[in-house]
Amino acid sequence: QQQVKQSPQSLIVQKGGIPIINCAYENTAFDYFPWYQQFPGKGPALLIAIRPDVSEKKEGRFTISFNKSAKQFSLHIMDSQPGDSATYFCAASLKGGGADGLTFGKGTHLIIQP
Amino acid sequence: DAGVTQSPTHLIKTRGQQVTLRCSPKSGHDTVSWYQQALGQGPQFIFQYYEEEERQRGNFPDRFSGHQFPNYSSELNVNALLLGDSALYLCASSVGLSGYGYTFGSGTRLTVV
Among B42, B48, B100, beta carbon nearest to A32: B100
What pLDDT, on a 0 to 100 scale, did the predictor assign at position A1?
47
Cβ contact, residue pair A93, B99, below 8 Å: yes
Find the range with the poorest average confidence among A31-45, B22-36, B93-107: B93-107
Find the range with the poorest average confidence among A66-75, B22-31, B99-108: B99-108
User: Is the Cβ of A98 closer than 8 Å to some Cβ of chain B?
Assistant: yes
DSSP state, residue B9: S
Segment B71-109, tens digit of pLDDT: 999 999 999 999 999 999 999 999 987 777 789 999 999
Cα three-residue angle B61-B75-B105, rounded to 5 degrees: 100
Q: Which residue has the higher pLDDT, B23 or B40?
A: B23
Indicate the SS3 state at residue B56.
strand
Segment A72-95, tens digit of pLDDT: 999 999 999 999 999 999 999 886
Q: In what order do the strands lie in the sheet with A56-59?
A: A4-7, A20-25, A72-77, A62-67, A56-59
Say if CB A65 and CB A48 are below 8 A apart: no
Compute how many other C-beta atoms are within 10 angstroms of the C-beta atom of residue A47: 18
Among B43, B56, B98, beta carbon nearest to A96: B98
User: Is the Cβ of A18 closer than 8 Å to some Cβ of chain B?
Assistant: no
Using alpha carbons, select from B2, B6, B16, B13 the residue that is nearest to residue B76.
Answer: B6
DSSP state, residue B25: P
Cβ contact, residue pair B99, A41, below 8 Å: no
Average pLDDT over residues A60-66: 96
User: Is the Cβ of B59 closer than 8 Å to some Cβ of chain A?
Assistant: no
